[in-house]
Amino acid sequence: MLKALSRREFLAKSSVMAYPAMMAMGMLRAAPAQGFSWQGSGEGKHVIILGAGLAGMTAAYELQKLGYRCTILEARERAGGRCWSVRNGSKNIELSRPSQTARFDEGLYFNAGPSRIPHHHQLTLQYCRELGVPIEVYNNVNEGAYYFSEGKGPLSNKKIRAREIHNDLRGYMAELLAKSIDQGKISLDMTKEDASKVIEYLRAEGGLDIDKLYKSSARRGYHTPPGSGETAGKINDPHVLSDIIHSGLLDPDFYNVAEYTYELQMTMFQAVGGMDNIAKALEKKVTGSLQLGVEVTSIINTETDVKVNYKTKEGAKSVSGNYCICTLPLPVLSNLEHNFSSDISRAIDFTPYISTGKIGLQFKRRFWEEDENIFGGITHTNNDLTQIFYPSNGYLGKKGILIGFYNFNDKAKKVGALSYTDREKLALEKGSLIHPQYSEEFESSFSVSWHQTQYNLGGWALYNSETRKTLYKALLQPDKQVYFAGEHTTYLNAWMAGAFESARSTVTALHARATEQRIEYPTKN
Ligand SMILES: Cc1cc2nc3c(=O)[nH]c(=O)nc-3n(C[C@H](O)[C@H](O)[C@H](O)COP(=O)(O)OP(=O)(O)OC[C@H]3O[C@@H](n4cnc5c(N)ncnc54)[C@H](O)[C@@H]3O)c2cc1C
pLDDT at 260: 85
Shared domain for 403 and 361, answered yes or no, is: yes
pLDDT-based confidence at residue 17 (cuts at 50, 70, 90):
very low
Looking at the fold, whether 172 and 244 belong to one and the same domain comes out as yes
207 and 341 fall within a common domain:
no
Report whether the peptide linkage leading into residue 522 is cis, meaning its omega lies within 30 degrees of zero: yes
The torsion angles phi and psi of 430, rounded to 5 degrees, stand at -70, -40
Please check whether residues 270 and 297 belong to one and the same domain. no
Q: Ligand 1 in contact with 264 (CB < 6 A)?
A: no
Per-residue pLDDT at 11 exceeds 90: no
Q: Is the CB of 145 under 6 A from ligand 1?
A: no
Q: What is the CATH number of the domain that holds 91?
A: 3.90.660.10
Can you give the CATH number for the domain in which 296 is found? 3.50.50.60
Residue 116 lies in a domain: yes
Q: What spacing in Å lies between the alpha carbon of 245 and ligand 1's midpoint?
A: 38
Q: Are residues 237 and 171 in the same domain?
A: yes
Domain match, 165 and 282 both = no
Beta-ladder partners of 401: 362
Same structural domain, 71 and 111:
no
- Asked if 180 and 328 sit in the same domain, the reply is no
- Reported as a single tens digit per residue, the pLDDT across 356-366 is 999 999 999 99
Which residues lie closer than 8 Å to 295 by C-beta, 6 or more apart?
75, 310, 311, 312
In a domain, 17, yes or no: no
pLDDT at 34 over 70: no
Helix (H, G, I), strand (E, B) or coil at 291: strand
Cβ(451) – ligand 1 distance below 6 Å: no
Q: Which atom of ligand 1 is nearest to the CA of 76?
A: 47
Given this model, what pLDDT does residue 146 score?
98
Residues 51, 326: contact at Cβ < 8 Å? yes
Residues 245-282 have pLDDT tens digits of 999 999 999 987 777 899 999 999 999 999 999 999 99
* C-beta 83 within 6 A of ligand 1: yes
377 and 360 in a common domain: yes
373 within some domain: yes
Instruction: Judge whether 227 lies within some domain.
Output: yes
CA distance 501 to 498: 5
Q: Are residues 270 and 301 in the same domain?
A: no
Q: What's residue 421's pLDDT?
A: 98
Does 455 contact ligand 1 (Cβ within 6 A)?
Answer: yes
Domain that holds residue 468: 40-81+276-353+460-515
**Structurally, how many domains does the chain consist of?**
3
Q: pLDDT of 436-487, one tens digit each?
A: 999 999 999 999 999 999 999 999 999 999 999 999 999 999 999 999 999 9
The percent of residues in the chain predicted with pLDDT above 70, rounded, is 93
* Count, residues in the chain: 525
7 assigned to some structural domain: no
Q: Phi then psi for 83, rounded to 5 degrees? A: -80, 85
Separation CA 36–CA 265 (nearest Å): 28
Do 225 and 313 belong together in one domain? no
Domain assignment present for 153: no
pLDDT at 2 over 50: no
**Which class for 98: exposed (0-12), middle (13-18), buried (19 or more C-beta within 10 A)?**
exposed
pLDDT tens digits, one per residue of 206-238: 999 999 999 999 999 999 999 999 999 999 999
Name the closest-CA residue to atom 5, ligand 1: 114
Q: Residue 182 sits in a domain of what CATH number?
A: 1.20.1440.240
Q: Same domain, yes or no, for 368 and 348?
A: no
Any residues with CB less than 8 A from the CB of 252 and at least 6 apart, and which? none
The residues pairing with 234 across neighbouring beta strands, listed in sequence order, are: 224
